[in-house]
A and B are shown apart, each in its own frame.
Chain A
């Protein structure tokens, strides 16, 4: 039995943080000491109450807000020079490095590998066409990870998972890259909500995976995604836009410049970047460009309409007339997206043609829509969705 009072140990006793022998002594003391027992009852209450507090998930857009306030990136000549020197040094000791990398890869922690794989996201490194690492990570090297990860398996050829050849199945951890060359394909299983097939010549990284959000970044190449999950659970970032899954299947291409094309085969995808949003339904496509998501269009639209849309989006205002005359009812998808992106007389013409093809709901006015009233735009979009 504890000889003195035990009040100062009660918090840890109630939290189960004391050695068994000490806890037993305190319990025996409590039976005999009414004074400490009163304190014990109070402490037991508060420990139990505090233990019921739950972790809280941060808002999903927090990174965007933080990133927007970070100082702009600078690439100095010094860093370029240092990188060049590193390349020279690496070439000189290539054979030794391969041996060393193998050794380290087999022995280091997942976090160390994560850091090794950290490369520039904004400027993707070229695929290793000249040297294919002859590295086969041992299962032990990738076990015991505490980082969140997704299952990945090779479909064709030899994809690189965190710079190591992927044989069969592996885990893509947060911060790591999966790369395919011209003959490789791989599949990433997005927990139990879907899969992403990574086509040849692609590079995709895992930013985050948790129950409420799975976020990847495609810097080049093509993926095919099939997801059956509530909206906004699955997100793909590209250099030019972010594709937010609204429960769908789609193909996303990103070229070396970071621009790309999204083609949706079922459901809806929301493309967003730089304050622009593009809703892309099944059967439609949308370009992703450095200035933000483009205007979506249906692939079944006439060639004349698509040509005029391309020209008008590139700044050729004379293409507007052709665009509007060739528009059919389903092309209100493009016209609705154009409305807030054009000004003055062009906006009025776009609206009038759209209303002619499929009018707005009764509580939406021409004036309100031309002033881009958010509620009216959203109501009109919901109505138009019937013909999209």
Chain B
């Protein structure tokens, strides 16, 4: 996925800092789907993803004056996203069971259509089922591993950027990424045939 040019948002952010709601709406529209995507794949539940996305933008509204323009806005924003995701996870773990594959969480929501759509209904059903299995596998990872995976695959953040977002070292990021892949490989080994053709030596 294409990363945004964080510096390009600076004029909009400045307007937000001056209390311009219209500018904040523009910022919201620019990042709503990206934030929601991370939240949705983090919790695998559309209602929780909506809650998380709302919280992120409310916190952003409250704290945007603290942004100092000496770092990437996206890094700053995703620190909020990561914190809200982790807070929500902790909060819900205390009271509720976090939805995973076994709890049936993960309502099928509409996804942004892609040009390379499957050719037939059978393919479509197969693709949906595979996608559902991958989502469930991601949801079963520990929250820390999950976040690293999502930031890497949806935001294409570098290890250094992820380290900045998550407040850890690049080495820790690399380690979490590797562990995440290893755990997913075990869970998804039955899909080897379906996915195996995708990348060749």
Interfacial residues, chain A to chain B (CB-CB below 8 A): 8, 11, 14, 27, 30-31, 41-59, 62-63, 65-67, 69-70, 73, 79, 109-112, 114-116, 118-122, 146, 174-175, 205, 207-208, 211-212
Whether the pair B131, A54 counts as a contact (CB closer than 8 A) is: yes
- Residue of B25, B189, B192 most packed against chain A (CB within 10 A): B25
A55 to B20, CA, bound (A): 29
Q: Mark B122-141, 1 if CB is under 8 A from A, else 0.
A: 00000100110011011000
Q: For the complex, what is the distance from the CA of A73 to the CA of B154, rounded to whole Å?
A: 34
Further contacts, 15 of them, CB under 8 A, given A27-B201, A56-B110, A66-B54? A42-B181, A45-B185, A45-B189, A48-B195, A49-B195, A50-B153, A53-B134, A54-B131, A56-B40, A56-B49, A56-B109, A58-B50, A70-B58, A111-B12, A115-B23
Tell whether, in the assembled complex, residue A11 and residue B177 are in contact, meaning their CB atoms are under 8 Å apart. yes
Which of B27-35, B81-89, B97-105 makes up part of the contact surface?
Answer: B27-35
B8→A109 contact, CB < 8 A:
yes
The contact of B154 among A43, A55, A114, by CB within 8 Å, is A55
What sequence of 0s and 1s flags, for each residue 8-28 of chain B, a beta carbon within 8 Å of any chain A beta carbon? Answer: 111110110001111101101
Asked if B76 is at the interface of the complex by the 8 Å CB criterion, the answer is no
Cα A109 to Cα B177 in complex, Å, equals 36
Q: What residues of chain A lie closer than 8 Å to B21, measured between beta carbons?
A: 70, 73, 121-122
- A114 touches which of B12, B46, B137 (Cβ 8 Å): B12
| Interface pair A59/B50, CB less than 8 Å apart | yes
Residues of B within 8 A of A63 (CB): 25, 28-29, 32
Q: Are A146 and B181 in contact (CB under 8 A)?
A: no
Q: Which residues of A contact B191 (CB under 8 A)?
A: 45, 49
Q: Which residue of B lies closest to A122 (CB)?
A: B21
Question: Which of chain A's residues has its CB closest to B199's CB?
Answer: A44
With beta carbons under 8 angstroms apart, the residue of A43, A48, A62, A121 that contacts B22 is: A121
Are A174 and B29 neighbours in the complex by a CB distance under 8 Å? yes
Most buried by B among A57, A79, A110: A57
Residues of A within 8 A of B11 (CB): 111-112, 114-116
Name the CB-closest residue of A to B109: A56
B96 within 8 A of A: no
Known: A48-B199, A66-B58. A43 touches B131 (CB 8 A): no
Expressed in whole angstroms, the Cα–Cα distance for A30 and B200 within the complex equals 12
Q: How far is it, in angstroms, between the C-alpha of A49 and the C-alpha of B137 when the chains are bound? A: 10
Residue among B58, B127, B185 facing the most chain A CB atoms (10 A cut-off)? B185
Which A residues are in CB contact (< 8 Å) with B78?
A: none
The winner among A48, A69, A73 for most chain B CB atoms within 10 A is A48
**Distance in Å: Cβ of B61 to nearest Cβ of chain A:** 6
B123 to chain A, nearest CB (A): 13
CB distance from B134 to the nearest CB of A (A): 5
Q: Mark B163-201, 1 if CB is under 8 A from A, else 0.
A: 000000000001001100110110011011001101101
Q: How far is the CA of A200 from the CA of B38 in the complex (A)?
A: 44
Contact A58 B32 (CB under 8 A): yes
A-B contact pairs, 29 of them (CB 8 A): A11-B178, A42-B185, A42-B189, A43-B185, A44-B199, A45-B189, A45-B192, A46-B184, A46-B185, A47-B181, A50-B149, A52-B134, A55-B33, A55-B111, A56-B110, A56-B112, A57-B110, A62-B50, A63-B32, A67-B25, A69-B58, A73-B19, A111-B11, A114-B11, A115-B15, A118-B26, A121-B22, A174-B26, A207-B29
A42 and B5 alpha carbons, distance in the complex (Å)? 33
Q: In the complex the two chains form, what is the Cα distance from A122 to B54 in whole Å?
A: 22
A13 — nearest CB in chain B belongs to which residue?
A: B199
- With A50-B138, A69-B54 in contact, do A208 and B29 touch (Cβ < 8 Å)? yes
In the bound complex, CA of A116 to CA of B109 (Å): 37
Instruction: Return B104 CB to nearest CB of chain A, in Å.
Output: 18
Beta-carbon contact of B14 and A66 below 8 Å:
no
Q: Quick one: closest B residue to A58, CB to CB?
A: B36
In the assembled complex, which residues on chain B have CB atoms less than 8 Å from the CB atom of A62?
32, 36, 50, 53-54
Tell me whether B121 is interfacial, beta carbon within 8 Å: no
Kindly report which residue of chain A lies nearest to residue B9, judged by CB atoms. Answer: A111
Distance (whole angstroms) from the CB of B199 to the closest CB of chain A: 5
With a cutoff of 8 Å between Cβ atoms, the chain B residues found around residue A119 in the complex are 22
Choose among B15, B53, B137 the residue that contacts A118 (Cβ–Cβ < 8 A). Answer: B15
**B188's contact among A45, A54, A121, A175, by CB below 8 Å, is which?**
A45
Among B20, B40, B111, B195, find the residue whose CB has the most chain A CB atoms closer than 10 A. Answer: B195
By a CB distance below 8 angstroms, the chain B residues around A45 are: 185, 188-189, 191-192, 195-196
Asked if residues B153 and A54 are in contact (CB atoms below 8 Å), the reply is no
Contacts of B109 on A, CB cut-off 8 Å? 56-57
A118–B25 Cα gap in the complex (Å)?
Answer: 11
CA gap between A118 and B35 in the complex, in Å: 23
A-B pairs, 3 with minimum CB distance: A115-B11, A58-B36, A42-B185
Q: How far is the CA of A45 from the CA of B185 in the complex (A)?
A: 7
Q: A48 with B112: in contact, given A8-B174, A62-B50, A121-B21 (CB under 8 Å)?
A: no
Task: Give the distance to chain A from B163, nearest Cβ to Cβ, in Å.
Answer: 16
Complex interface: chain A residues within 8 A of B20 (CB): 118, 120
Interface contact B14-A115, CB-CB below 8 Å? yes
Cα distance, A205 to B23, chains bound together (Å): 12
CB distance from B20 to the nearest CB of A (A): 5
Give the complex CA separation of A116 and B174 in angstroms.
Answer: 41
The answer to whether B12 and A115 have CB atoms under 8 Å apart is yes
CA distance in complex: A52, B199 (Å): 12
